């Protein structure tokens, strides 16, 4: 499921809501985890600050969300009735 307006969400919101996205930032050597600016920076801001392609970063974050174990549990629960 696509997350609407993912690129405009704050990084701290993204990482709090979907902890599996932290590996996306760590893997790219972004020091956003625990950074006080992460409350104010969006994906677009992070991509610009780190000279990284915004579309690629957004896709990687979305893929982490899509492959989240917590999303699988939600899907499994919604099919039981």
User: Does the residue 1 lie in any domain?
Assistant: no
Domain count, the chain: 1
Q: In CATH, what number is assigned to the domain containing residue 14? A: 1.10.3910
In a domain? residue 36 = yes
Burial class from Cβ neighbours inside 10 Å (0-12, 13-18, 19+) for residue 2 reads: exposed
Residue-wise pLDDT for 44-60, tens only, equals 999 999 999 999 999 99
Question: Distance between CA 20 and CA 11 in Å, rounded?
Answer: 13
Residues 18-75 pLDDT 10s: 999 999 999 999 988 888 999 999 999 999 999 999 999 999 999 999 987 765 444 4
pTM, whole model, 2 decimals? 0.79
CB 58 within 8 A of CB 42: no
- The tally of CA atoms less than 13 A away on the side-chain side of residue 75 is 8
Residue 73, in any domain of the structure: yes
Residue 42 resides in a domain:
yes
- And the tokens for 26? 């760590």
Which domain, by its residues, includes 27? Answer: 6-79
- Residue 14 falls inside a structural domain: yes
Name the percent of the chain lying above pLDDT 90.
Answer: 63
């Amino acid at each position: 499921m696509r997350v609407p307006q993912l690129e405009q969400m704050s990084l701290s919101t993204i990482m709090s809501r979907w902890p599996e996205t932290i590996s996306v930032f760590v893997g790219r050597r972004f020091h956003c985890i625990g950074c006080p600016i992460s409350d104010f920076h969006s994906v677009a801001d992070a991509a610009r600050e780190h000279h990284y392609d915004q579309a690629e970063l957004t896709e990687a974050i979305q893929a982490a969300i899509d492959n989240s174990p917590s999303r699988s549990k939600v899907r499994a629960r919604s099919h039981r009735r």
